[in-house]
Structure 1
Amino acid sequence: MLTPERQEKILQMLQEQRNVTIPEFVQATNASISTIRRDLIELENQRLLQRVHGGASIASSLSYEMSYTEKQTQNETGKQKIAAYAASLVGENDCIFLDAGTTTYQMIPYLAGRNVTVVTNGLTHLDALYGKDITVYVTGGLVKDKTRTLIGRGAMTALAQYRFDKCFLGANGVHPDNGYTTPDPEEAAIKRLALQRSDETYVIADRSKLDQTTFAHIADLSEAKLIVDNASMKQETAYKKLTSIKVVDS
């Protein structure tokens, strides 16, 4: 088993069990104890787990996710500025994907009057899109109540039917080494598939997400353009080396 595959297996086991012993990792990966220990050190340095005596546990900050209502109240001004700029990138007759999230939701008023088609997995988006007379398709799937998101096999199957001119994704973490991340692997899978089905991909994230990492990897920074508010000059310079970045002042 190659190192990336083995480390992905380690993280998957932690997501499922939260606490896993070194012997359990050894049995699951067919690797030596010394190899597993090196993996755990490397993953802890990336803040993807926490080593404990005899094994590892998932850091609570990596898997914790705020509810949709909690997210709505954070940095509203910055999200609106990001959303206005992101919406300006949408052209006439574009077919776009808006994933579930409070910043993508803020794009909807700026799409009013445009001849665009929107596909979304966000239940909160539906009334707002319909109210702006925008053509909208919704994926099926399992309803994740905490974030009002459609996930799972049904959502993946529906999403695979479409091609997009552009997609706009949220992320809980944006990090130079760990890329774009989110706490839920099933949400990460939806975002990753939308990226793959799109000609252009934008991650829209307020400044609090910069230099943060959560559990599930969505994509490397190079795979999407980043739109963020009020990044520092140091951050902007660092991220420019890895992705196209637009900093919107709020």
Structure 2
Amino acid sequence: MDIREKEILTILAKKKFMRTTELAEHLHCSISSVRRALITLEQQKVVIRVRGGVMLTKESNIEFSHTYREGTNPDKKKQMVTLVKDFIGPNMCLFLDSSSTIQQVIDVIITVPNLVVITNSLKTALFLSESNNESLKVFITGGEIKLNTTSVLPSAQDPVYESFRFDLALFSCRGIDSDGVYEASFSQANLKKEMMKRAKQNILLVDDSKFDSTHFFKISNYHDYDAIITNQAPEPHYQELFETKKVELLYP
């Protein structure tokens, strides 16, 4: 997937539907270039072309591949991770979701002694297991591996659910609006709900591209989080909302 195709998917994740002419204007390229990119994306069954425009399949409720998510907004993700350091200390038990955003926290975790980390991400578990931090203990949730996402979807018999209580759980999401936090996958949403119940402190990392973006599956309300970390100051109405919900807002 080339850069232009990734940019189109990022735009559609927020706008739901865009006219071909609008995409060309937004991307500063010709309409024919946009059409070629859309044909490729349609062949991959990621978008549907309709008269005059394009939309994501399943009304934008796609859980993008991990490879795609890793390549989106890397600088924004790194900005947010610098603010997570203050929440992580020795002898803690952490849950990390399978998002590419939370994967960026690995560089922080491997420097902290005596951590226990539970994750539903194959990639995160692998990276942590390859670290030189011998005091680190890593567990992965059991269940079905969702192809192309490196996520493990939960099983009802998974002992991790009952075996651990977390000092801190770190999450990202597909989008947020004034009503709450959303995910693209029903299974991912349910997993996050369960893990939030088992954590003393829950933190949401969400960059500015995910504001004002809704999806089918609501994970939570804002009062379920102790802090929200983003890469820049959000719009004033979000700042007021978070303050009303007594959620700490952090940004660089």
Of all paired residues, the percent bearing the same amino acid is 23
Give yes or no for the alignment of 1:239 onto 2:242: yes
1:66 counterpart letter in structure 2: F
Cα drift, residue 243 of structure 1: 4.6
Give yes or no for the alignment of 1:68 onto 2:53: no
> Where does residue 213 of structure 1 map in the other structure?
214
Structure 1 window deviating more from structure 2 (214-223 vs 126-135): it is 126-135
Cα drift, residue 233 of structure 1: 4.3
8 Å contact from structure 1 (residues 176, 239) kept in 2: no
Which of residues 230, 248, 251 in structure 2 aligns to 1:248? 251
Question: Structure 2: any 5+ residue segments left out of the alignment?
Answer: 1-55
Cα drift, residue 125 of structure 1: 0.4
> Cα gap change, 1:70/1:84 in structure 2, threshold over 3 Å: closer, same or farther?
same
Deviation sequence 1:153-175 (CA, Å, 0-9, x none): 25754223210001001111112
> Where does residue 170 of structure 1 map in the other structure?
172
8 Å contact from structure 2 (residues 223, 245) kept in 1: yes
Question: Structure 1: any 5+ residue segments left out of the alignment?
Answer: 1-57
Distance 2:177 2:248 in 1: 13
- Secondary structure at 1:217's aligned position in 2? strand
1:129 counterpart letter in structure 2: L
8 Å contact from structure 1 (residues 142, 154) kept in 2: no
2:189 counterpart letter in structure 1: A
| 1:95-106 superposed matches below 5 A | 95-106=93-104
1:110 counterpart letter in structure 2: V
1:122 counterpart letter in structure 2: S
8 Å contact from structure 1 (residues 170, 204) kept in 2: yes
Distance 1:141 1:247 in 2: 34
2:213 counterpart letter in structure 1: Q
TM-score by length of 2: 0.70
Structure 1 window deviating more from structure 2 (141-150 vs 60-69): it is 60-69
1:94 counterpart letter in structure 2: M
Structure 1 window deviating more from structure 2 (147-156 vs 218-227): it is 147-156
1:172 counterpart letter in structure 2: R
Cα drift, residue 126 of structure 1: 1.7
8 Å contact from structure 2 (residues 62, 185) kept in 1: no
> Where does residue 88 of structure 1 map in the other structure?
86
TM-score by length of 1: 0.71
8 Å contact from structure 1 (residues 139, 154) kept in 2: no
8 Å contact from structure 1 (residues 176, 221) kept in 2: no
> Cα gap change, 1:237/1:66 in structure 2, threshold over 3 Å: closer, same or farther?
same
> Where does residue 188 of structure 2 map in the other structure?
187
> Where does residue 52 of structure 2 map in the other structure?
none
> Cα gap change, 1:86/1:111 in structure 2, threshold over 3 Å: closer, same or farther?
same
Distance 2:157 2:67 in 1: 23
- Secondary structure at 2:167's aligned position in 1? strand
Cα drift, residue 140 of structure 1: 0.9
8 Å contact from structure 1 (residues 139, 150) kept in 2: yes
Give yes or no for the alignment of 1:117 onto 2:116: yes
Q: How many residues align?
A: 191
Cα drift, residue 208 of structure 1: 1.1
Distance 2:162 2:60 in 1: 28
Distance 1:117 1:241 in 2: 33
Distance 2:212 2:233 in 1: 11
Cα drift, residue 241 of structure 1: 2.3
Distance 2:97 2:213 in 1: 20
Distance 1:112 1:61 in 2: 39
